[in-house]
Structure 1
Amino acid sequence: MGRKPCSDKEGLNRGAWLAWEDKILTKYIETNGEGKWRGLPRRAGLNRCGKSCRLRWLNYLRPDIKRGNISSEEEELIIRLHKLLGNRWSLIAGRLPGRTDNEIKNYWNTTLSKKTEQGSDKAPHHERTSTTNSKEYTPKPKPVSKSHQTVQVIRTKAFKCRKVVIPSHLDGHDQMIDRLNVNPGFVPV
């Protein structure tokens, strides 16, 4: 049932990469290109697993990677994008040319999360973010009388919605409508 993980193999090098291993991997990818990571270590003569080779190349050895010294403009952009996107590091890295999602995630966890927490100490208690939970505090909605009911939708994750529930105030029964099979001129009553 599925492949046997390569980490079970005996005798594979683990831990820090050596300079000569980096050179072998870089030369192999320059001549043969990226891809087919599972068989790459055997063909290149490395005693590593394919996943380790892929991550080493993508996060450290690629020539277009910009490493270290994150500027203040990049910091501000990371903070703004994190507020907007959350922990979607690959989407954030897509807005910062030459930066990897792994580097941005590590920088956030070691430096920027502490800066943003210090900045939130000046805010009132109910507006601060919790240190144990990365999601922002949202107060519970106040109860509303049935005559003035409003629907508040809070989206926490992206999802595709096929069915829509339309509350009916006339007969007290909710109607379920399939969004994909509704005529464009159809108006529920």
Structure 2
Amino acid sequence: MAKSVENRALKKGAWSPEEDKKLIAYIKRYGIWNWAEMAKPAGLQRSGKSCRLRWVNYLRPGIKHGNFTKEEEETIIDLHEKLGNRWSVIASKLPGRTDNEIKNHWHAHLSKRLKYDLNSLPDMSDAEIDQYSSFETDPPPTNVPKALISESSAATSTNSLPSSSSNPKQ
């Protein structure tokens, strides 16, 4: 870690509009020279990595923000099928979109659409898709003792289940 960063407390979490303005103004004036060293002279109590990611993913000129078009989504799906999770290569084919934004959009929306083939399911929202996908991806509850799970699967009626008072571990 750089010496200038070791002795000062770094801010974490969401960026404020004032911090964004400071970073933009600094980069416009001095350019990008060393992310690890430029946070302090820019007047930011952030790490160099945080400054770099903020610039690359949100503040850099030419970045598109907002919803993806159907054409962009089709391009992502086609390229993901061919290239896999090579997000930076996919981003190079979509001007103005960052690899991070494409990756997040893939995991939040597109992978679910492919899994459930939305062409056959008319107008389902992502929340409705989440409702169905959680059945297959959620692990079984962990708060049920293993003894109860094995005994209850072997039992044919609820009368043969042990009562909670007979289990000394609870």
- Superposed CA deviations along residues 94-142 of structure 1, whole A, max 9, x for unmatched, are 000000000000000000000010129x8xxxxxxxx87xxxxxxxxxx
Matched, 1:43 2:48: no
Which of the pair has the greater relative contact order for Cα pairs under 8 Å at 6+ separation? 2
Give the structure 2 partner of residue 114 of structure 1.
Answer: 112
Matched, 1:52 2:50: yes
Distance in 2 between the 1:102 and 1:9 partners? 31
Distance in 2 between the 1:73 and 1:54 partners? 29
* RMSD over aligned Cα atoms: 2.5
Structure 1 or 2: larger helix share? 2
Give the one of 90, 93, 96 matched to 1:95. 93
Give the one of 74, 79, 82 matched to 1:81. 79
Could you tell me the TM-score, scaled by structure 1's length? Answer: 0.59
Q: How many pairs does the alignment contain?
A: 122
Structure 1 position 63, deviation (Å): 1.4
Structure 1 position 59, deviation (Å): 0.2
Give the structure 2 partner of residue 162 of structure 1.
Answer: none
Q: Is the 8 A contact 2:91 2:99 kept in 1?
A: yes
What letter corresponds to residue 26 of structure 1 in structure 2?
I
Structure 1 or 2: larger strand share? 1
Distance in 2 between the 1:64 and 1:115 partners? 28
Distance in 1 between the 2:51 and 2:98 partners? 16
What letter corresponds to residue 26 of structure 2 in structure 1?
Y
What letter corresponds to residue 71 of structure 1 in structure 2?
T
Unaligned runs of 5+ in 2: 121-135, 138-170
Distance in 1 between the 2:2 and 2:32 partners? 23
Could you tell me the TM-score, scaled by structure 2's length? Answer: 0.66
| Helix, strand or coil at the partner of 2:95 | coil
- Superposed CA deviations along residues 150-169 of structure 1, whole A, max 9, x for unmatched, are xxxxxxxxxxxxxxxxxxxx
Identity of aligned residues (%): 54
Give the one of 21, 29, 32 matched to 2:30. 32
Change (3 A) 1:10 1:71: same
Q: Is the 8 A contact 2:2 2:36 kept in 1?
A: no
Q: Is the 8 A contact 1:6 1:49 kept in 2?
A: no
Structure 1 position 35, deviation (Å): 3.0
Q: Is the 8 A contact 1:89 1:105 kept in 2?
A: yes
4+ runs deviating over 6 angstroms: 4-8
